[in-house]
Structure 1
Amino acid sequence: MDLWLIGIGTGNPAHITLEAQRALRDAAVILVPRKGPDKSDLAGIRHRIIADAGATAQVVEFDYPTRDPAIPYKDRVRAWHDDIARRWQAAIAGASSNGPIALLVWGDPSLYDSTLRIATRLTPAPRLRVLPGITALQALTAAHGLTFNTLAGAVTVTTGRRLREFGWPKGAETAVVMLDGKCSFQTLDRDDLMIWWGAYLGMEEELLDHGPLSEAGPRIVEARAQARADHGWIMDTYLLRPKGAE
C-alpha cells in the first residue's frame, strides 16, 4: 500500500506546492478527516484544495476520535493515535479504488504533527511518501516580515506545555512556541521579551499582533479567546525574543 502524506500549509490553498498538486491528481483515494461540526470548515478547506488541484480520486471521509482527558498526557495521546490508525484502516478498507492513498496534512507532516507516527501503526506497513508543506513557522515570520533567527543566534521550537513546565529554553535567543492552548507566555517572568503572534495564518481570518510581551500578551489572550468562540477552533503560534536582538 502506498500512502502519501501531503502537507497543505496553514489554510491558504495558494500555499500548495506543484508537487502536492500533482500527487493529488495521481492519487487513487484521498482521505479527509472530519473533526466535528464546529470544525467543518477544516474539511471544507481540504475539499477546496482537492478540487483546485483537479483531482479525480475517490474521496473518503472519516470521523476523528477525541482524547480521553482522564488518563496521563502521553498515554492519552498514544491511545488517541491508536484510535486514529484504526479509523484510517477502516476508511482505506472501505475504499472502492485501488492505488496510492493520499492524506492531506495541515502544515507540514514533519513538524509537531503525528501523522508519520500514526502511519507506522497501519497493517500492512505502508510505503510512505512525504510531501512537505508550508509550516506555521514560515507563515508566521513571513506575515510579520521577521527573520526566524537573530544574527548567528540559536532558535528553539517548543510547545506551550514545555514552556509552562521548564520556562525559557536554555541557550535560545529565539523561542517559537506551538500547540499552546493556554497562552503559556503568561508564565514567563521576564520584562525584556517581544512577541510576534499569528492565528489562522494564511487564511482570510488571519489575526496578527506583536509588541512587548507585557503589552501585547493581554491583547493576544483576549483576541485568542474571542476568535475561538467565533470559529469553534483556532490554530496559532508565536515567536519570542529579547528586545533589541538583531
Structure 2
Amino acid sequence: MITLSLIGIGSGNPDHLTRQAMRAMNAADLILIPRKGEGKADLAELRRAIVAEVVTNPANRIAEFDLPIRDEATTDYRRRVDDWHDAIAGVWADTIAAQLGQAGRVALLVWGDPSLYDSTLRIAARLRPAPQIEVVPGITSIQALTAAHAIPLNEINGPVTITTGRRLRDEGFPPGVDTCVVMLDGECSFRHLPPKGLQIWWAGYAGMACQITESGPLDEVCERIVARRAAARAEHGWIMDIYLLRRAPDHAKP
C-alpha cells in the first residue's frame, strides 16, 4: 500500500517545520515537488531548499511534476475546480506509480496546513487505489498573519469567521461576527466594503523573508495595500496574501 504524508510546511520557512514534519520527510521513500510554471518557480525552489536542509536519509527520492492548468473557460466554478482536481490527482498517481509502483511512503509538502483552505486532502481522496493518508499539521497563514502584526486572532469571547475574497465581495462582511479573516483574495475585495469603522491587518508573503505588512483603519490604508500588493506581485511574479478585518467597538453589530 502507498502511504501518503501531507506535510504542512508553513510559509516555506524551515524554522516553521515541526519535528513531526522532519521525521515524516525523512521516512518517505519519495518526495513530490509540484511546479507551477516559470512565474512561480521560486515556490518549487523553496520546497527544494527545505528538502536539502532537512532530509538526511540518502534513500529519499525526489520527483518533480508540472501542475495542470485550471480551465478558466468553464463558467461553472465548482465544475472547473472538480475537473482541475481530477487532473492533479491523475498526475500524482502517474508520478507515484512511475517512481514506487504500488507500495512505499510518499511525502507531499503543503503550504500552510493541509486542513485550512487547501484542497490537497480532497485531491488525495480521488487517488485509486486509495492510499493511507497521514496529515502532519503545519503553521497556517492565519498564525503567520497574527504573529506578523502581534495581534490576537479573536477578541475576548468573540467568534471569528474565515472566508474568501469571492464571498466577501459577493456577500459583504460576514454577519454575526466582528472579526473575519479573508483568504484567497486576488482582487482586494475589501474595496467593496463600506470602510468606516473597519480595521485591517494585511500581510503579503506572511512568515517569509520577503514578508510585507500594512495595518490601520481601512479607509486610510486601503489604497496603500492595493498599491503594495500590485508592486510585490510585479516584482516576484506571484503573491500570497491574507488579511484580518475587525469592526471597531462602536461599530460592532449585536
CA–CA separation in structure 2 for the residues paired with 1:23 and 1:136: 21
Counterpart in 2 of 1:120? 125
Work out which of the residue numbers 58, 83, 87 in structure 2 matches 1:83: 87
CA–CA separation in structure 1 for the residues paired with 2:195 and 2:212: 25
CA–CA separation in structure 1 for the residues paired with 2:115 and 2:55: 26
CA–CA separation in structure 1 for the residues paired with 2:162 and 2:11: 17
Work out which of the residue numbers 65, 72, 78 in structure 2 matches 1:74: 78
4+ residue runs over 6 A deviation = none
**Is 1:233 equivalent to 2:234 in the alignment?**
no
CA–CA separation in structure 2 for the residues paired with 1:96 and 1:153: 48
Residue type at the aligned position of 2:139: I
CA–CA separation in structure 2 for the residues paired with 1:13 and 1:214: 36
Q: CA deviation at 1:190?
A: 3.7
- TM-score of the pair, normalised by structure 2: 0.94
1:87-132 Cα shifts (integer Å, max 9, x gaps) = 0011101115852100000100000000000001101001000000
Counterpart in 2 of 1:25? 26
1:60-111 Cα shifts (integer Å, max 9, x gaps) = 0000111111112111111110000010011101115852100000100000
**Is 1:60 equivalent to 2:66 in the alignment?**
no
CA–CA separation in structure 1 for the residues paired with 2:97 and 2:12: 29
**Is 1:99 equivalent to 2:104 in the alignment?**
yes
Flag structure 2 segments of 5+ consecutive residues without an equivalent: none
Q: CA deviation at 1:11?
A: 2.4
Counting matched residue pairs gives 246
- TM-score of the pair, normalised by structure 1: 0.97
**Is 1:4 equivalent to 2:5 in the alignment?**
yes
CA–CA separation in structure 2 for the residues paired with 1:42 and 1:13: 13
Counterpart in 2 of 1:177? 182
Q: CA deviation at 1:54?
A: 2.3
CA–CA separation in structure 1 for the residues paired with 2:47 and 2:152: 30
Contact 2:199 2:216 in 1 (8 A): yes
Identity %: 55
Contact 2:12 2:50 in 1 (8 A): no
Contact 1:22 1:53 in 2 (8 A): no
Flag structure 1 segments of 5+ consecutive residues without an equivalent: none
Work out which of the residue numbers 152, 156, 159 in structure 2 matches 1:151: 156
CA–CA separation in structure 1 for the residues paired with 2:249 and 2:214: 18
